Amino acid sequence: MNKHVFFRQLGCCMGVYIVAMCFNAVVTFSSILIPQMQLKTSKVVITTPLEISLVASMAALPMSFGTLLNCYLMERFGRKLSLLFSQIPMLGWLIIGFSENIYMVFVGRFLTGWSAGMSSILCSVYIAEIASIRYRAVLLALMNLSVNLGMVTSHILGLYITWNYVAMIIFGFAIFGIFVIAFWSPETPFWLILNDRYSKCVKTHSWLSGVTEEVSINMPEFVALEKKAERIKSIQKNCKYYAYCFTSPEFYKPLLISSMFFLIAQFSGLGAITFYSVTLFHDILGSNVRQETALLMIDSLRVFGL
């Protein structure tokens, strides 16, 4: 029964894994896009440093906005519906694929960056709430693997086909992910019980756990879910409550630690390597070493360094 339950929960997360691949492809796409667009044979050619910088950074600009927007959407409309909504701006891949000028590329990059920002946090939230305690660590680790596979996939595709066809293929992945989520992935039990949909919550939880509804409601995990939802609903969310949250050590200490981690990662050059990897390897290694080989070696370190 345990294997049956694991693969059932894994199947629910498959669409989320595909979405995770796509949102990381947004970040790494510029590393193959910029070198190809600098060629005179490219459908759209970039020549100035400003254009190169905008192609790389245009996706990063709306990511923070997308993340903040989705914090509201996933609480108001649910995790599943918010995941589906987050993929609408993935139409930017199609705009990039059919781009006739640099401005269409900018618009496409902006939209895909918006989508990546919306889905990045939501993917982890969905998996954590769908997975049972026993399988949660494994299923979350698979999401990190999916994120890195998105990077590898975009780089490998960029070695053999032009950037506009790569964009169309990634758009195809996004559409496939939407269909998997829409027709296979259920809403999370925690959101259902938090929004007073008790009967639906019991059905979903029992199906995910591979037990009957009578057994499900007496499971320690479900009882803990009920208590947590009741505690959250009993809290009066006013200005005093939010002030307490922001000044609580349980909030600001993890925030400071994680913020320092991300600051160190960014100032160490992680962003530059991600956005300009092929260009950097070309400048550093010269023409004696294939830049694509070095790029795939770095990708392999990220994938197997989990």
pLDDT of residue 251: 81
Judge if 73 and 217 occupy the same domain.
no
Measured distance CA(155)–CA(295) in Å, rounded: 8
pLDDT of residue 287: 65
Judge if 112 and 195 occupy the same domain.
no
Judge if 139 and 200 occupy the same domain.
no
In a domain, 289, yes or no: no
CA angle 176–146–29, rounded 5-degree value: 80
Domain boundary among 215, 234, 253: 234
109: closest CA among 100, 119, 99? 99
Q: What is the CATH number of the domain that holds 86?
A: 1.20.1250.20
Judge if 197 and 117 occupy the same domain.
no
Residues 6+ apart with CB under 8 A from 288: none
Q: What is the CA radius of gyration of the chain?
A: 21
pLDDT of 13 over the 90 cut: yes
Measured distance CA(167)–CA(59) in Å, rounded: 14
Judge if 75 and 174 occupy the same domain.
yes
Q: How many domains does the chain have?
A: 2
Judge if 74 and 172 occupy the same domain.
yes
Judge if 147 and 227 occupy the same domain.
no
H or E element: which one contains 27? helix 2-37
Measured distance CA(212)–CA(290) in Å, rounded: 58
Judge if 215 and 164 occupy the same domain.
no
Cβ atoms of 189 and 205 within 8 Å: the answer is yes
Judge if 25 and 126 occupy the same domain.
yes
In a domain, 282, yes or no: no
pLDDT of 2 over the 80 cut: no
Measured distance CA(55)–CA(96) in Å, rounded: 11
Judge if 109 and 13 occupy the same domain.
yes
Measured distance CA(270)–CA(265) in Å, rounded: 6
Measured distance CA(6)–CA(144) in Å, rounded: 18
Measured distance CA(175)–CA(31) in Å, rounded: 23
Judge if 229 and 90 occupy the same domain.
no
Domain boundary among 234, 263, 297: 234
In a domain, 173, yes or no: yes
In a domain, 280, yes or no: no
Cβ atoms of 150 and 21 within 8 Å: the answer is yes
pLDDT of residue 289: 59
Judge if 83 and 170 occupy the same domain.
yes
Cβ atoms of 225 and 190 within 8 Å: the answer is yes
Residues 6+ apart with CB under 8 A from 239: none
Domain that holds residue 136: 2-185
pLDDT of 294 over the 80 cut: no
Q: Is the pTM of this model over 0.75?
A: yes
> What residue type is 150 in one-letter code?
G
φ, ψ of residue 277 in degrees (nearest 5): -60, -50
pLDDT of 94 over the 80 cut: yes
In a domain, 70, yes or no: yes
Residue 109: pLDDT band with limits 50, 70, 90: very high
Give 184's DSSP letter.
T
pLDDT of residue 47: 85
pLDDT of 1 over the 50 cut: no
Domain boundary among 209, 234, 259: 234
In a domain, 14, yes or no: yes
Cβ atoms of 137 and 7 within 8 Å: the answer is no
pLDDT of 30 over the 80 cut: yes
Name which of 114-118, 155-159, 169-173, 274-278 the model is least confident about.
274-278
In a domain, 113, yes or no: yes
Give 45's DSSP letter.
-
In a domain, 8, yes or no: yes
